[in-house]
Amino acid sequence: MAQVLEFKLPDLGEGLTEAEIVRWLVEVGEVVAVDQPVVEVETAKAMVEVPCPYGGVVTARFGEEGAELPVGAPLLTVAVGESAAARPAPDADGGGEAAEPARGGSAGPGGPRTGEPGTGEPRSEGSGNVLVGYGTSEAPARRRRVRPDRAATLAAGARMNGRDRGADPAPEGPVPVISPLVRRLARQHDLDLRELTGSGPDGLILRADVEYALRAAAAQGGRTAVPADGALAAGAVRAPAAGVSGASSASSARSGGIRTPLKGVRGAVADKLSRSRREIPDATCWVDADATELMRARTAMNAGGGPRISLVALLARICTAALARFPELNSTVDTEAREIVQLDQVHLGFAAQTDRGLVVPVVRDAHARDAEALTAEFARLTESARAGRLTPGEVTGGTFTLNNYGVFGVDGSTPILNHPEAAMLGVGRIVPKPWVYEGELAVRQVVQLSLTFDHRVCDGGTAGGFLRYVADCVEQPAVLLRTL
C-alpha cells in the first residue's frame, strides 16, 4: 500500500528563513529517486538545488515558480510504496491539500519516519541527506471560521468573483491554494477560501482572486478596504470604504511608480547594510598611489607563458601581507561580550556585481594561496556568481573585503562595511595622470586606494599604517617581496 509523504522546504542554513522557487525540476506524476534534486530555489545567499529524501511518485507541488516560501512550508508530496507507480496524479499541479500526508508521520535530522504503532501503516525510510531540518508534517491546520456577521458580505464578493470569471464556486473539499501568502491574506480578513473560484491553472486560487473578493465585499458595504494597488500588508488598518481621509489620499498618491520587493539578494543586501550602518562606527581614509610598477610587474609575470595572473590576485596578495602586519583589521566585534575577536585565518571577500545584484564571494584561506591560486579561485567564484551557482558557504564567513570599484569607472568610494567584518580595502580605476616621479613631472598610472574600517577595533594610526603599506607595495612591488 502506497503512502503519501510530505517534503518540506528544509533549513538552508546561515539563518535563512525563506526561499523563492526559481524552477521546478520535476512534474506531478513523475517518478523520483531518493536524493534526486526536485526544485531550484533562490535564497538571500545563493541558488540551491534541493534534493528529496523520498523515492516514489510526485503527487503534488506546493508553489509556483516565483513564489516565496518560508522554511518548513510544504514543497511537494510523494507517494511511496509498492503501489506508488500506479497512483493517479491529482487534477491540479500543486493542488495544496489535494494529497494529504500520512497521519502521524514525522521526520527529523535522522531520517523521515511514517506510521505509528497500531495504525497498520508500513514504515518508510528516507535518505536523511536533505540539507538540514526537513520532515513530514502533522495534519493540516483547521480552517479559520468566518464570523457570522461577515460571512454574508464576503460570500457575496466571492460569488461575484465566480460570476465575473465565468465559473461556479468551488465545491467542498481541498482548497486549491499553494501560496502561504494567499492563505494568510484570507485569514487576516476572515475570508473563506472555499467560496472563491480561482483564476489560476486548474482553478488555483491566486492572490489577485482574494483581493478581488475583498474589494467586491468593500464595494457592497463591507468593512475591509483594499488599497488601490492591491497591496495588503499584515496588520493593515480596516476602515469604512466611504469617506476618504487625507491619509488615504496621501497613500493613493504614493501608490504609483514601480514597486520592487526587497527579497532575495536585494533584500539580504538591504538588511546587512542597514545593520552595518546602525552598529558599526566606520571611518574612511584614502591615498593616491602610483601603480605603474605594479602593472609592469604583472606584465612581466604573464610574459612567461604560464597561467595568467590577474590584477585582483596581486592586490589580494598585498592585502593578506598587510593584514599580517596589522592583524587588528582582520577581526570582528562581539557586542554581547564586548570583546574584539582577532581572527587567525584571512577569508577574503570580494565584491562582484551580477544580474541578481551585488554578491560577495569569499576566498577561503587567502593568506595561504599564491598569486596563481588566487587568480584561479577568483575566476571560479566570479563565474559561479554570474551563473547564480554560489552556495551559501561560498558567500559567508568573510573576514576582510577587497572592493574593486574601479571596474565601474570611478576613482573613489566610501563603502559600507560588510557586517560583521572590521575593514574593507577599496580600489579605484587605474588611469594615466600627471605625477611627480624622481623629481620630474611624468605621466604615470595612478590609482586611488581607500580603507574603510570599524573605529572600535583600531584607531587612525593603525588604519593609516595599513593603507600606507598597501600603497607602498603598489608603488614598489619589491616591498612585498622583502616582507614575504
Q: Which residues are catalytic?
A: 455
* Amino acid letter for position 292: T
- Identify the bridge partners of residue 204 per DSSP, sorted by sequence position: none
| Set of cell numbers at residue 135 | 520532515
Distance CA 34, CA 28 (A): 16
Residue type at position 289: A
Please name every residue paired with 51 in a beta bridge, in sequence order, or none if there are none: 37
Q: Is 145 exposed, middle or buried (0-12, 13-18, 19+ CB in 10 A)?
A: exposed
Phi first, then psi: what are they for 262, rounded to 5°? -85, 85
Nearest CA among 431, 304, 302, 325 for reference residue 375: 302
Pairing of strands 74-80, 111-113: unpaired
The C-alpha atoms of residue 314 and residue 447 are separated, in whole angstroms, by 14
What one-character-per-residue DSSP string does 179-233 give?
Answer: -HHHHHHHHHTT--GGG----SGGGPPPHHHHHHHHHHHHHTT-S----TT----
Q: Are 23 and 65 in contact (CB under 8 A)?
A: yes
Starting at the edge strand found earlier in the chain, the sheet holding 3-8 runs: 3-8, 74-80, 56-61, 31-32
**How many Å apart are CA 131 and CA 170, to the nearest integer?**
38
Q: How far apart are CA 9 and CA 18, in angstroms?
A: 9
Burial of 243 from C-beta contacts in 10 A (0-12 / 13-18 / 19+): exposed
Count CB atoms within 10 A of the CB of residue 40.
Answer: 18
How far is residue 108's CA from residue 133's CA, in Å, rounded to a whole number? 6
Residue 429 in contact with residue 406, Cβ under 8 Å?
A: yes
Structural Rg of the chain based on CA atoms: 29
